[in-house]
Chains A and B, each alone.
Chain A
Amino acid sequence: QSALTQPASVSGSPGQSITISCTGTSSDVGGYNYVSWYQQHPGKAPKLMISDVSNRPSGVSHRFSGSKSGYTASLTISGLQAEDEADYYCSSYTSSSSYVFGTGTTVTVL
């Protein structure tokens, strides 16, 4: 199984909105509404930000939102803050009863 495709980097100024894409196939992103997004700061464990395409766990800022269209899922961060600077990974359940992660996106706050 191939990793889901994400842009290597996305940047924005404080207060702006940015969107990270996650493109897969009909066997993963396109076939299931089981896409999650994780935030990872350097040297730390990943943190769940979005589950099931668009569900935000308790405690996660409302500035984070998720969506999906066809084979591409997206994570939007609105009102960008310095603390949002991190790596972001999507993941999807697959038709092989397994999981695949995205290639990862580094978010930089200018």
Chain B
Amino acid sequence: QKEVEQDPGPLSVPEGAIVSLNCTYSNSAFQYFMWYRQYSRKGPELLMYTYSSGNKEDGRFTAQVDKSSKYISLFIRDSQPSDSATYLCAVTSRGEYNFNKFYFGSGTKLNVKP
């Protein structure tokens, strides 16, 4: 079983829509959760980072973690064409288990149509 599973999409939405991107993970030891945005031919850019369960909001972006179901989500409100990119989720734990290991989803490609 992979540590992180993510639907590759592509996901196509009209401008202004609310986008929901999701990942599931396998190990309850993971405590830190990240979302990256990657534009074509560029490196992944850290968008959001959360610790443990709950929500974190930053502008139009909300990251949500449900540790009981090992499910993480990224919501984008009022989506814009400039949000068109591939979104990767990542998880890690800071303990001795899997030291310095970050596990990434395969990425979901999002297309926001004008």
Mutual binders A and B: no
